[in-house]
């Protein structure tokens, strides 16, 4: 990763485990200084200790992205440094259900983290990168951005926002010297997925996903992680005809049927 263009500091939002931790380790190996954000302090501290032991300067921020003052909290750790790369990784969904029956707090959290969070952090850090004339932004996305999936209405809608937002932003920021990438992820073996009981032995390793994101930061606006079947699935469900049939036949399978389906003929695009 080009330290001159995207350094000297990288901000990894959702940077304590899974894909976020893989990004952090790879960037540290390339000489970046890091600011890592997540809620649980202990995994953040453990990763920071591991990276500091190898000589990397690391700052950690324990904050909840669904809180309205989260950007202010993160800014306290970044206002005096140059963030050349912002990776907004957090945003998985852990609650499914009929939209009209789910508690308002669930919807608020999904929209605050993925829609408002990606927009607010991008405005702040993107403006500073544009002023300097270089930098990079990776926004965490999902194959589910191509299909409104029953029981995941807010999540799939929020990921669609992220993908379309990234496309427009890519067009605006490219002439300003800033690369924007929506990293479109399929089923990945993260601790968050394992905690939900998903069959992560069948999923893409987080290191593969992070590597593809970094290697393709200049190949935006959208990069679909090259797990076999991902691109084909995106193409198939992105067709504009027969949306009714598409929604009904290609919706993300409920979790209790996921293992069975994943061991069958097709790879899943779980959150
Ligand atoms: N795993 C998959 O199969 C899959 C598939 C498609 C797309 N994706 C996308 O890939 C990204 C990463 O997913 P993931 O499975 O690793 O789970 P995730 O929970 O979105 O991300 C994990 C990281 O984000 C932090 N985080 C989560 N919620 C947070 C919050 N409210 N405030 C601050 N930090 C928060 C976690 O630490 P704390 O828990 O300590 O906060 C951890 O560091 C997401 O955008 C997801 O939509 C994942």
Q: Does any ligand 1 atom lie closer than 6 A to the CB of residue 24? A: no
Residue 267 lies in a domain: no
Is the pLDDT score of 230 beyond 50?
yes
pLDDT in tens, 115-162: 999 999 999 999 999 999 999 999 999 999 999 999 999 999 999 999
Q: Is 54 domain-assigned?
A: yes
Domain residues for the domain of 160 are: 3-262
What is the pLDDT at residue 243?
85
Residue nearest to atom 48 of ligand 1 (CA): 271
82 inside domain: yes
Domain of 108, CATH number, reads 3.40.50.720
Spatial CA neighbour of 23 closest among 41, 39, 6 = 6
Ligand 1: which residue has its CA nearest to atom 46? 92
Residue 74 lies in a domain: yes
Ligand 1 near 199 CB (within 6 A): no
For residue 142 and ligand 1, the question of a CB distance below 6 A is answered with: yes
Q: How far is CA 90 from CA 18, 64, 133, 222, 268, in A?
A: 10, 10, 26, 17, 20
Q: Identify whether 80 is part of a domain.
A: yes
Q: Could you tell me if the CB of 193 is within 6 A of ligand 1?
A: yes
Instruction: Please choose, from the candidates 113, 201, 195, 125, the residue with its C-alpha nearest in 3D space to the C-alpha of residue 161.
Output: 113
Structure tokens at 137: 């932004």
Nearest atom within ligand 1 for CA of residue 16: 43
- Domain tally for the chain? 1
- Atom 45 in ligand 1: which residue has the minimum CA distance? 91
Supply the pTM of this predicted model: 0.94
Report the alpha-carbon distance of residue 128 to residue 147 in Å, rounded.
34
30 falls within a domain = yes
Mutate to test the pocket of ligand 1, among 90, 95, 138 (most ligand atoms within 8 A of CB): 90
Q: Is residue 270 in some structural domain? A: no
- In a mutational test of the pocket of ligand 1, which residue from 14, 146, 189, 255 has the highest number of ligand atoms less than 8 Å from its CB? 14
Task: Please indicate, yes or no, if residue 134 is contained in any of the structural domains.
Answer: yes
Name the residue at shortest CA distance from atom 7 of ligand 1.
142
Q: Do the Cβ atoms of 60 and 52 come closer than 8 Å?
A: no
Q: 15-53, pLDDT tens digit by residue?
A: 999 999 999 999 999 999 999 999 999 999 999 999 999
Ligand 1 in reach of 44 Cβ (< 6 A): no
The verdict on the CB of residue 230 being under 6 Å from ligand 1 is no
What rounded mean pLDDT belongs to the chain? 93
pLDDT tens readout for residues 235-249: 888 887 888 888 888
Closest residue CA from atom 34 of ligand 1: 38
């Amino acid at each position: 990763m080009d330290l001159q263009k995207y350094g000297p500091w990288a901000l990894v939002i959702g940077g304590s485990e899974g894909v976020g931790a893989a990004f952090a380790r790879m960037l540290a190996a390339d000489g970046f200084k890091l600011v890592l954000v997540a809620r649980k302090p202990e995994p953040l501290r453990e990763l920071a200790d591991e990276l500091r032991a190898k000589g990397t300067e690391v700052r950690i921020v324990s904050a909840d992205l669904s809180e309205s003052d989260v950007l202010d909290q993160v800014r306290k750790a970044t206002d005096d440094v140059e963030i050349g790369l912002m990776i907004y990784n957090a945003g998985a969904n852990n609650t499914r259900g009929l939209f009209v029956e789910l508690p308002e707090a669930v919807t608020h959290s999904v929209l605050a983290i993925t829609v408002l969070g990606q927009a607010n952090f991008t405005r702040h850090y993107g403006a500073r990168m544009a002023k300097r004339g270089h930098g990079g932004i990776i926004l965490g996305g999902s194959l589910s951005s191509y299909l409104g999936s029953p029981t995941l209405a807010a999540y799939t809608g929020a990921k669609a926002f992220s993908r379309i937002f990234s496309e427009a932003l890519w067009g605006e920021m490219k002439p300003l010297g800033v690369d924007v990438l929506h990293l479109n992820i399929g089923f990945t073996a993260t601790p968050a997925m394992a905690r939900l009981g998903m069959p992560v032995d069948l999923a893409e390793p987080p290191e593969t996903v992070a590597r593809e994101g970094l290697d393709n930061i200049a190949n935006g606006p959208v990069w679909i992680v090259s797990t076999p079947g991902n691109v084909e699935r995106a193409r198939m469900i992105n067709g504009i005809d027969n949306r009714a049939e598409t929604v009904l036949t290609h919706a993300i399978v409920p979790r209790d049927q996921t293992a069975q389906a994943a061991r069958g003929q097709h790879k899943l695009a779980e959150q």
